[in-house]
Amino acid sequence: MYSVSASHAIGLIGGLIALPLALVGLRFHPRRRSVPGTVQAAAALMAVTGGVHLALIPHHLDSEPFTSALFLLNGVAFITLAASFTWRWWRLSSSALLLATVLGYLIYVGIGLEGPDQVGIATKLVEVTALGLVLVPVHGEHAAHRGWRHAAIGVAMPLLIVISGATVWIVDLARPDARHVHAGALLQATNTIPTPAQVDAANHLYAETMAAITPYQNWRQAWAAGYRPGGSTSLPSTHWMNQRYVDAGYVMDPHRPQGLVYANTHHGPVLLGAMFQMKSLNRFGPDPGGPMTAWHQHENICFTPFGFEFSLMTPYATCPIGAIDISAPPMLHVWIVDNPHGGPFAVDIDPSVVAALDRT
């Protein structure tokens, strides 16, 4: 959802090529001045989305001939309508085409025929904006159905944007690709099945880390060693970070893990495990256990300094005000408590484990 699919990248180029061509075409259109600027802007945006659809055809032709045919129909229809903006039925036809295209995309994404990506979301934003421009009555214009058109803008645009965002988000979370887990965390690329040597190395790392952090089961010792809560302690668990170890950049040193994870129970912090963290983005650490000890990097998270809290960036690349979009450098957890749903190196701890600790 947050990246550009390789097969769709060409669509961006198609849209970018279509834009200047559309502007030049508009500039020299003999009846340009007979329509308001909103119509001209909508025509330009429709030419862009037409360019995107046409550019996508070659990459889909062999594997998805039906989709390619739809792209061709859509692209030609958009370009034709973009060029014939003085036609009497232009608004009605354009609205219908834009609406059908957005809904068609959502059906395609919903049933898994297409994966949500940046090109798709960007194109839908362009189409919804074009729909608004097609519908909006202009000041002083003798417009038919003025009230209905305003009502359509007030209802259709928000609905389409919210439904598109929700569909794309749900599909992305429900059907992540192989390297994305836990609400968008990017996993390190590894082999699929661990070799016996990798299993031994993972077991060794686990034993060494567990022995090294056992003293920190007493949180006061962790505090004395320089670990401090890195977020709200009202959450089920909190990462305690050692800024000295973070700055030093120790790489997967069981005796100097950058973070410790504590469950916030009613009888105080209970140690769940350690967290190794790399110093910079996109540099995954050593991976002795292969798929068992794959690092992960949290991307597109909205971070707020108020309470050091996180939420997820929306598919439209927006965060709540007061939060900014960041990525966290690659990390690897070692859970010293039983983690039945993911094992000792899982991206996250099973929430039921934390809840059980709180009850005991």
Number of residues that bind another protein (CB under 8 A): 64
Sign of CA dihedral 310, 313, 319, 320: negative
Instruction: Find the binder of another protein among 20, 24, 34, 191 (CB under 8 A).
Output: 34
| For another protein, the closer CB: 86 or 217 | 86
Cβ neighbours of residue 87 under 8 Å, at least 6 residues apart?
A: 81, 93
Which residues, in sequence order, are bridge partners of residue 186? 180, 297
Under 8 Å between Cβ of 30 and 85: no
The verdict on 65 binding another protein (CB under 8 A) reads no
- Between strands 185-187 and 296-297, the pairing is antiparallel
The verdict on 129 binding another protein (CB under 8 A) reads yes
In the block, tokens 């308001």 appear at 36
For residue 112, report the phi and psi dihedrals to the nearest 5 degrees: 85, 15
The verdict on 281 binding another protein (CB under 8 A) reads yes
**Order of strands across the sheet with 324-326?**
309-312, 301-304, 324-326
The verdict on 137 binding another protein (CB under 8 A) reads yes
The verdict on 118 binding another protein (CB under 8 A) reads yes
Q: Give the shortest CB-204-to-another protein separation in angstroms.
A: 32
Under 8 Å between Cβ of 237 and 262: yes
Q: How many helices and strands, by DSSP H and E, does the chain display?
A: 10, 11
In the block, tokens 């108020």 appear at 306
Segment lying near another protein (by CB under 8 A), choices 69-77, 128-136, 207-215, 239-247:
128-136
Report which of 323, 309, 326, 328 is spatially closest to residue 233, judged by C-alpha positions.
Answer: 309
The verdict on 355 binding another protein (CB under 8 A) reads no
From residue 147 to residue 186, the character string flagging contacts with another protein as x (rule: CB under 8 A) and all else as - is ------xx--xx--xx--x---------------------
The verdict on 33 binding another protein (CB under 8 A) reads yes
Long-range contacts of 61-68 (CB under 8 A, 24+ apart): 64/113, 67/108, 67/113, 67/114
Which residues, in sequence order, are bridge partners of residue 324? 303
The verdict on 322 binding another protein (CB under 8 A) reads yes
The verdict on 302 binding another protein (CB under 8 A) reads yes
Segment lying near another protein (by CB under 8 A), choices 1-9, 103-111, 195-203, 342-350:
1-9
| For another protein, the closer CB: 16 or 207 | 16
Q: Give the shortest CB-150-to-another protein separation in angstroms.
A: 9
Residues in touch with another protein (CB under 8 A): 2-4, 12, 33-38, 41, 118-119, 121-122, 125-126, 128-129, 132-133, 136-140, 153-154, 157-158, 161-162, 165, 232, 234-236, 281, 299-300, 302, 304, 306-307, 309-328
